[in-house]
Amino acid sequence: MKASAFVYPWDVNGDPGAAEFIAGLGVRQATLASAYHSTRALTPRHPRHRIVTAEHAAVLYPADDRWYGRTLRPYPAGEWAPGDAYGEAATALADAGLEVHTWVVLAHNSRLGADHPDTSVINAYGDRYPWAPCIAQPATRAYLVDLAAEAAVRPGARGTELESLGWYGLQHLHAHDKTAGVGLGDAGQYLMSLCFCPTCAEGYGEQGLDADELAAVVRAALEPVWRGAPSDGGWAGVEKLLGEANATATRAWRDERARTLQETAVAAVRAAAPADFQVLLHADPESYHCGANVGVDPGHILSVADGVVVPCTGGPGLLTPFAEQGRAGAVLAANFTVVSGMGGRPGALAADAARARDLGASELRLYHAGLASEADLVEVRSAMAEL
């Protein structure tokens, strides 16, 4: 199975041995961040630093003139990734014999929400989520499509992996996040992720709903949850809380906005890319789910993109709905965390990969070569040799 390791430019730049070290893990590809959200990252082997603080979402290369005069535009990185940090790292990785693909984070941008609050998702209580751009808004969609094309098609890249190309919601894994005090469950997360910005209010109207009335229904449905009542999982739980008609109408609006954004963004990447450029999405097979692994319809997304990267650290079961499509040539990449301190199981990688392959996985993704300890990477090398 072809395997790729996720990498940040700051894992490579300034460390003369980093690219060869990553190639020595036994992977054939590096998936290198070219546009990324704010983060605080460990660099346990770098000769110059141990902690990198990326203060805001940024492109990790010099943006071109397509953004001139536009209100919504990507932010340049600061000292954590100066100049063409992506290009420098990509060259080193390619020189080490690795195929380089871009890793592009899209609808996850706290700086955008802070500078342009009207772009953010607004929940039923009127709270804004600055990390979550509303993907229904025309200006935001245009920004995301152009960012996808620019950040994906960097010089020498053989493909791209598009993360967060869909709805983001309440769940953020934000620094100092303190939202776990109430168990919202799958259904509660959906209700708290519904957007009530003016664009979405109009969209609900197209589905026969009054946005103010819908927001009141959401608040009423959540009131028992705030008091400790369980929030049933799955779509049936959403229908129970919202009512079937309301649930169906909100999902119709949100699914259509996500599907058409994905279609447009992938088409823009293809138009900018050379022949045989691979386009994958980080994806979850339930279209109502939000987050970095965006909810998609498996049949639809495999007709648009070349494949998907599917989270499998908690088990490979999410691969099944994609494999059931029987789409010849589609890439189904099983993504495993190999950082034990982040819940990964590097010692079980060979067995986990074998189970994923049995469920239809054609490739592996290893998160994350730069973050993992040497002990974790010893296990990775052993697993890759076995595979």
Domain regions of the chain by residue span: 2-178+255-386
Q: DSSP letters along 81-92, please?
A: S-SSHHHHHHHH
Residues counted in the chain: 387
Rounded Cα gap, residues 158 and 153, in angstroms = 8
pLDDT of amino acid 175: 60
Q: What is the pLDDT of residues 230-271, one digit of tens each?
A: 777 899 999 999 999 999 999 999 999 999 999 999 999 999
Is pTM, for the whole model, over 0.85? yes
Instruction: Name the stretches of the chain with pLDDT < 50.
Output: none
Whose tokens are 């984070």? That residue is 105
Q: How far is residue 64 from each of residues 67, 151, 156, 309, measured CA to CA in Å?
A: 7, 10, 17, 28
In a 10 Å sphere around its CB, with 0-12 CB exposed, 13-18 middle and 19+ buried, how is residue 333 labelled?
buried
Strand residues in 67-141 grouped as ranges (E): 99-105, 120-122, 128-133
At a CB cut-off of 8 Å and minimum separation 6, what does 70 contact?
143
Q: How high is the pLDDT of residue 233?
A: 80
* 3-class DSSP assignment, residue 197: coil
Q: Any idea which fold 2-178+255-386 has?
A: TIM Barrel (3.20.20)
